[in-house]
Amino acid sequence: MPREKYDAATLLDEQLERMEKSLIESGQWQRVFDLSERMRKIITNPALDWGVCHMDLTLDNVHRHGDTMTVFDLDSAGESWRALEPWGLKKFSEDYFAAWLEGYRSIREFGPEDEKAVAAFGIVGDIRNVVWKLGFARSSRGEPLLQTTDLRNVVDEWLKWGKEKIS
């Protein structure tokens, strides 16, 4: 089956479009739009590596048995910037990210530009997650896990992350 290409249009434009009404209602539209434009400049750097990505690489989708790790749940896999992949690790723990980076680099290159972009992809990945939690993603099911009224706090966290982690 053909796989999706997760470019800036898919990762940013489509996501903002899906939650535009909620962002406007919560008074967060301009803040998120401005932040997304800042992220777009970082993630579209032509020096970044592009290839196959899992697109949902969380600890829920990894099984460890002894020294063997198995990654599963590849239904969202597609082409994207490889610096997107470890965003959840970096947000969770700098130590986990460092361990991931060491393991990844033992197999293939992950350049300084890619490493620098991971923090921006942290926000981009979280935007996709919030769209899902609001119930606006194609794969959203059931009751939303996040309400529009919570968006101000979410956006505050994105801006804080951007100020602390993105130069």
Summarised one tens digit per residue, pLDDT across range 30-71 is: 999 999 999 999 999 999 999 999 888 777 888 888 888 788
Predicted confidence band of residue 139 (pLDDT cuts 50, 70, 90): confident
Q: What superfamily in CATH does domain 8-165 come from?
A: Aminoglycoside phosphotransferase (APH), C-terminal lobe (3.90.1200.10)
DSSP 143: S
Under 8 Å between Cβ of 80 and 55: yes
Q: Is 106 helix (H, G, I), strand (E, B) or coil?
A: coil
What is the value of pTM for the model shown? 0.88
Q: Where are the domains of the chain?
A: 8-165
- Average pLDDT of the chain is 92
Contacts 24+ apart (CB under 8 A), 74-77: 76/4, 76/139, 77/3, 77/52, 77/53
How much is the pLDDT for 62? Answer: 83
Q: What is the pLDDT of residues 8-32, one digit of tens each?
A: 999 999 999 999 999 999 999 999 9
